Structure 1
Amino acid sequence: MKCVKPLLLASAIAACVCVQADELNKVIQSSDKINQLATGSQKKIDGMVDSMQTRLQQYKTLNKEIDGLEIYNSQLNKQVNNQLAELDSLAQSMDQVAVIERQITPLMLRMINGLEQFVQLDVPFLAKERSDRVASLKSMMDRADIASSEKFRRVLEAYQVEVDYGRTIEAYTSLLDVNGVEREVDFLRVGRLDLIYLTRDGKLAGIWNNQTKAFDPLPDSNISQINKALRIARKQLAPDMLTLPVQAAE
């Protein structure tokens, strides 16, 4: 009977230890759950922080784009305003063009008639070519498919050709009535100063007399210089001094 108490005490202690162990396990389990929840919460917080950083960066980027678009729109507004001003100017110009076009047509007709009279009264070099040019201009004026600007350009071009004749030397071959016989001759044009012919056999030469509207015969002493001038005009000889007859102007 004396041994029963120690056994009971040991059993009680063991039972108490078991109870404490169970409670400790529960505490440990609860701590693990808390740690897991804390870890999950931290992950959520980290995710939210990352998301906020990303959105903040996107916000800053969008602000920069907005600033750039505002500058771009401001520049576009300036360009649009300039284009509107140009449109107004063009509209005014178009109204003026209509007036100018009504005035330019009579001017061109007068210019063509003046050119025709000039060719008829001028030294008769390249007569067919020049008369055909005038005829072409007259025909052009009746055409509706050619703009007035193009017509005016061609009239000015014809005038420029005539101006160039006065400062160039030229040699060309054509037919001419010489002493009642049509012969092939070489013509020498020196500006508008001289129009001289030389027969192909080199025996007869003449110079245009604008007063009599006919060719006057030249002596044989001029033939060598005329030949030389023809070769210079054809670029067969280098430019050199020439002694040629000149019709005196009145």
Structure 2
Amino acid sequence: MNPIVLITGASGGIGRTLATQLTEQGCRVAAVGRDAGRLAEVPAALRIVADTTTPEGAALAVAACTEGLGAAPTQLAHAVGSTLVAPLHRTQDVVYRELIRVNLDSAVYMLQAWLAGLKGAAGSAVFVSSVVARIGVANHEAIAAAKGGVEALVRSAAATYAAQGVRVNAVAPGMTETPMTAGMLKLPAMREAAARQYPLGGVQAAGEVAGVMAWLLGDGAARLTGQVVPVDGGFTTVRPLVR
């Protein structure tokens, strides 16, 4: 039987693209989001309205998926997230707390709820970090801290649950064309400046990130766990050739 995949943040750019890819591959996708209207446009076998930044919302998502599709999801793709470009001395506490809630709290609660739903069975999960958690980028202190927490969560959970046959990995995208980054890329000069930072050039598409996430969930990555895969055009490891 084709796997059941629970995708959180499914109405966002990467989440929606991943839902499309996995549905086309024959997976039974349960798409989770907070906005029923936006969620209605996501290709999925089941759509669940839930706020996974709370433990209750995360548990609801897993329970609704299990009831709606007849079994607990053996795969989890957590694509809930937000970003912030601001130096720390200009970051208000309320903004910081919201950033942690959306990016880190949601990852902890969702992984906890998903593991409980597995009830000792094997499975695979993939989370979304960021290049700014892997290399210092100016004016990204708060989001780097939040995504760094996600990466630490991935490594520890991978160690804890490996004996159960559970794999936990993450991707760390660079600048990606999504609704969340639209404001940063709206002017040609901004887009060109962003593209020059990447050795492979250009701004990557959501499908390029989603494709790696789909691979990490599947059997092709059966020997990978506790890994954070940069999908960043070489940003974190290669210096661009300056002409």
| TM class by smaller structure | under 0.3
Q: Which has the higher contact order (CA 8 A, sep 6+)?
A: 2
**Structure that is richer in helix per residue:** 1
Look at both structures and tell me which one has the larger radius of gyration over its CA atoms.
Answer: 1
TM-score (structure 2 length as normaliser): 0.18
